Chain A
Amino acid sequence: MATAAARDTAGSRAYGVTAGADDTAGHQHAFDAAVAADERIEPRDWMPDAYRATLVRQIAQHAHSEIIGMQPEANWITRAPSLRRKAILMAKVQDEAGHGLYLYSAAETLGTSREELLDKLHSGRQKYSSIFNYPTLTWADVGAIGWLVDGAAITNQVPLCRCSYGPYARAMVRICKEESFHQRQGYELLLALSKGTPEQHAMAQDAVDRWWWPSLMMFGPPDDESQHSAQSMAWKIKRHSNDELRQRFVDICVPQAASLGLTLPDPDLKWNEERGHHDFGAIDWAEFWDVLKGNGPCNEQRLTRRRRAHEEGAWVREAAAAHAAKHSNGETGATRA
């Protein structure tokens, strides 16, 4: 809860409308004090416009990533090699759609709408995580995504459970619980392959070789090239720098790879006694920026499919609205048995 002074006591201020200039200094002071005291900023509280804009951008990008992120995994639903794995994968993709819904709701508390955000995604004005622009070429990729991509996401997102903006922090608590489950399932899938036939082991190794570096890029550019980091950390939206989280992730993955019986594709990867961390090789930042610019292997395919689902579904959404308008007394529902 933010301090009473930071609240708009009238409770009627429209979203996105800043208070009169004479109040701004007082509001800013109360906001800074609330953030400094680790209190939560809530939707009806005054907040700086830039704080609001940063959160909308970040939460929207996060929501978009959940939705686009369904595609590489859905690619394998119809080919899953056992019914148990098929059920796990379906449940996971369903969870991701649910995460998207939580996050769009969290973004809406900042005065935007899901329609507007989807429109920005479809027109390329808002981004999603670059990792989803890589293709899932074999069944083992489903495991590598669970272990590495969800693992990186969790490393990134657990600190967001303490984010200064309340609705985002609360969404992250729910999401991280489910993500941890997905991550363990991915690890377990890879373990089964690694300990399976030679062909299955090779499939697992190949997937890890392809997904390792893109997963490291998920933490964003190096600290000295990250535009928003310093401000986000000052606002306590972020709690740790990109490089700090990336290092944490590498340190977690090395022993896990060893227990999987798989290697990580980095000849420079080794324990550094002095630092108490693993040193690792140089990331190909040219590739990172290139994928971000839209030139990755699947950028075009992912957005096209998302747009098409939206366009092909337009008649359904129009019908639902028309029906609701005709039956505004709510007599639609077939009764539950």
Chain B
Amino acid sequence: MTELTPPAGGGCRDLPVLRQRGQREVFCGLTGIIWLHRKMQDAFFLVVGSRTCAHLLQSAAGVMIFAEPRFATAILEETDLAGLADANEELDREVARLLARRPDIRQLFLVGSCPSEVIKLDLARAAERLSAAHAPHVRVLNYSGSGIETTFTQGEDACLAAMVPALPQTDARELLLVGALPDVVEDQATQLLTDMGVGPIRWLPAPRADDAPGVGPNTVFALTQPFLGDTHAALIRRGATCIAAPFPFGEEGTTAWLAAVAAQFGVPRDRFDAVTAAPRARARKAVSAAAETLNGRSIFFFPDSQLEIPLARFLTRECGMTAVEVGTPFLHREIIGPDLDLLAPGPTLSEGQDVDLQLDRARAARPDLTVCGLGLANPLESEGLATKWAIELVFTPVHFYEQAGDLAALFARPLRRRAALRLEAAE
């Protein structure tokens, strides 16, 4: 299949990583609910937490909060903290009220938060108890999206990993694609693989509880997102085999990802080329338009989503950028290895964060573009650094061929805007 040329100096897989500990300017895993609930149409996410958790969801969900979303927070009150037995009764009552009001709900996730973890409210037991009480119509699952355990996209990982043990057993040889992607992206991936003769294809998460994929020793799975470490482990525990591949960003990444899957299913070379030739050419063309702006520019990634390393690989190899530092909240060497192999040595790789020290490094390096969260973006802009806010990369369709140009454009736009604005006097 199409072998990608590794960089001249070898990849980054075995290079040392900078680990610092201090203030981390990141979201907690609860944020994952915002996109997960759109993807799972019959699921409801009930956070058991504090007013802070509710306020976070509201701030992160923006206007979505008004569209009858399928998530809410059961806010702990002082009486809940006084005695634990009481909290369980309260939870049962709130869940019963919620399910009575929303009979369309088939899966209910009890999502743990920092307060519920610290007071050791046993949500796993609560999920079992409530599953029994509301069977067979509703299944109640539990995972933690707390800040003390999860960072941003890790919330999706925790959610999917909680679903894996409950998936039906199967001996069928099926391809399971893992990670919540926008529908349009999911359809394109399915189409490309179907055209190569790969199948049957199942997705985790499935849009509805009834479509839940089976898992077993003949299941092979490929991750579409890099942040799925626990789900990866849970699937392997069920006997499934993982296809290692770089993540499908850009023309190269998508081709390498598809090639890894095609190899697993014995797709002949000419068939693979026939299916991918046209979309590859389109992707290359679309990327090259944005690459004109990006070529030769330097980029600095603050940690956010774990997408940083594959994105740095795409931007350096396909758009001609130079990476200064690539920060990630968590680095899973096995999963991200194929991307590290393709990333040329040079940038500092950092895992975790001490935000003030990292800001000092960014200010010293003065990168042309800084990828960071919304708490840092405007302050850095006012210091004269161009920024690209990272959360958009999780909500916008960016994977696979047809989105490759859009992905590059997301990074080119702040630079083009900076060049376009002329606010000083004309003289």
A binds B: no
Taking Cβ atoms with an 8 Å cutoff, the residues of B that contact A are none
